Amino acid sequence: MALDGAFLRHLKHEIEIVALGNRVDKIYQPNHDELFLFLRSREGTQKLLLSARANSARIHLVNSTPENPKYPPMFCMLLRKRLIGARLVQIRQPGLERVLLLDFDGTDELGDTVRLTLAVEIMGRYSNVIFIDGNGKIIDALKRVNAEMSSERLVLPGLAYRLPPPQDKLCLLEVQPHEILEKIQMISADMELQKALLRTLQGISPIVCREIQFQVGNGQDVFNHSMTDKQNQVCLEVLSRLKQTVENVSGTPNMAVGQVKPLDFSFIPIRQYGSAAKNIC
């Protein structure tokens, strides 16, 4: 999935710049899988899309205004009751997981300030938007998950919210390039570098792993157990640049465009696609 945790970190930063401190003015739910938050400030209103569609889950700012259904779904009405007027005060991301936690300060029936959170989980067919109270309890979710649907993680009103189960992977924000290279070479199976990277790194998509291998091998296959000293050095340099880009949120959107439709996208230049790849900033 091209919308990986590192790309999501860039989207988080973009939303923070223009919407942090804004108040929720309107909430639309045009279909079962999508929500639109209208976040108002003195400078204007920002529209934020939260999508839990299995094949295109995402969160980002939009310019278009969606159709507002005459009869809003129950989840939308609940959010309107609890979130309208609340202020977006913080956006959190656990490591480079594909999860954003949007924290709002609102008021209860007595006028006291309460913390409310929308957890936006971007995980393919398991994507969801979960509404959480200040005590970490689930108020409701766009998609409820009962015991018949999952034996590992229930998403139901009244239960404590738990993050999706963590994977045994390294986070670029927490380790150095040489630690990543060491773990790649410790994998027992001999495999392509891109696959070893995908198995090792948290929140890094296949296209980024392919790009690292492309640069290390000059377009040729590279295997984790047979890398030359020069390839090891190039790999460390590429990982170092990637780490710096993710830490500083300094990437730019790049897209590989086919004859009919886009092929792929990333937050770094994607040389593997040659002239088909373009910076779309």
Question: Of 124, 141, 158, which marks where a domain is finished?
Answer: 141
Q: Please give the backbone phi and psi of residue 35, each rounded to the nearest 5 degrees, phi first.
A: -125, 150
The predicted model gives 92-120 an average pLDDT of 95
- The answer to whether residues 37 and 93 belong to one domain is yes
Interval 11-33 mean pLDDT: 97
Reported confidence tier of residue 114, pLDDT bands at 50, 70, 90: very high
pLDDT in the model for residue 167: 87
Instruction: Tell me which of 141, 163, 193 is where a domain ends.
Output: 141
- Residues 134 and 13 placed together within one structural domain of the fold: yes
Residue reference for tokens 């690292």: 212
Q: Is residue 248 pLDDT above 60, yes or no?
A: yes
Edge to edge, the sheet with strand 254-257 lists 262-266, 254-257, 277-279
H/E element holding 78?
helix 74-83
- Residue 152's pLDDT is what? 86
Would you list the DSSP string of 161-230? P-PPPPPS-B-TTTS-HHHHHHHHHH-SS--BHHHHHHHHBTT--HHHHHHHHHHHHTTS--BTTS--HH
Same domain, 227 and 137: no
In a domain, 171, yes or no: no
Residues 129 and 222 in one domain: no
For residue 126, the model assigns a pLDDT of 94
Predicted pLDDT at 277: 85
Reply yes or no on whether the pLDDT at 1 is more than 70.
no
Q: Do both 13 and 135 map to the same domain?
A: yes
Q: Is residue 133 part of a domain?
A: yes
Residue 153 lies in a domain: no
| Residue 157: per-residue pLDDT | 98
Average pLDDT on 198-220 reads 97
Count of alpha carbons within 13 angstroms of residue 140, beta-carbon side: 11
* Contact yes or no for 117/94 (Cβ under 8 A): no
Residue 163 lies inside a defined structural domain of this protein: no
Distance of CA 41 to the CA centre of its chain: 25
Q: CA 108, CA 86: separation in Å to the nearest integer? A: 10
User: Is 197 part of a structural domain of the chain?
Assistant: yes
Q: What is the mean pLDDT of residues 161-188?
A: 95
The pLDDT value recorded for residue 179 is 98
- Mean pLDDT for the stretch of residues 200-214: 97
Q: Within a domain: residue 147?
A: no
The rounded percent of the chain whose pLDDT value lies above 70 is 99
Whether 10 and 111 share a structural domain: yes
Show the domain range for 240. 177-279
Whether residue 268 is predicted with pLDDT greater than 90 in this model: the reply is: yes
Q: Are 129 and 207 part of one and the same domain?
A: no
In a domain, 148, yes or no: no
Residues 6+ positions from 148 with CB-CB distance below 8 Å: none
Specify whether 119 is located in the same domain as 206: no
Q: What is the chain's mean pLDDT, rounded?
A: 95
Write out pLDDT tens, residues 27-83. Answer: 999 999 999 999 999 999 999 999 999 999 999 999 998 888 889 999 999 999 999
Does residue 183 sit in the same domain as residue 266? Answer: yes
Rounded to two decimals, the pTM is 0.94
Residues 25 and 134 reside in one and the same domain: yes
The answer on 129 and 256 residing in a single domain is no
Last residue of one domain, picked from the residues 113, 141, 169 = 141
Q: What is the mean pLDDT of residues 146-174?
A: 94
- Whether 112 has a pLDDT exceeding 90, the answer reads no
Question: How many domains is the chain partitioned into structurally?
Answer: 2
Query: Has residue 29 been placed in a domain?
Result: yes
CATH number, residue 42: 2.30.310.10
Mean pLDDT of 182-188: 95
Same domain, 136 and 184: no
Q: Of 177, 175, 171, give the one whose Cα is nearest residue 234.
A: 177
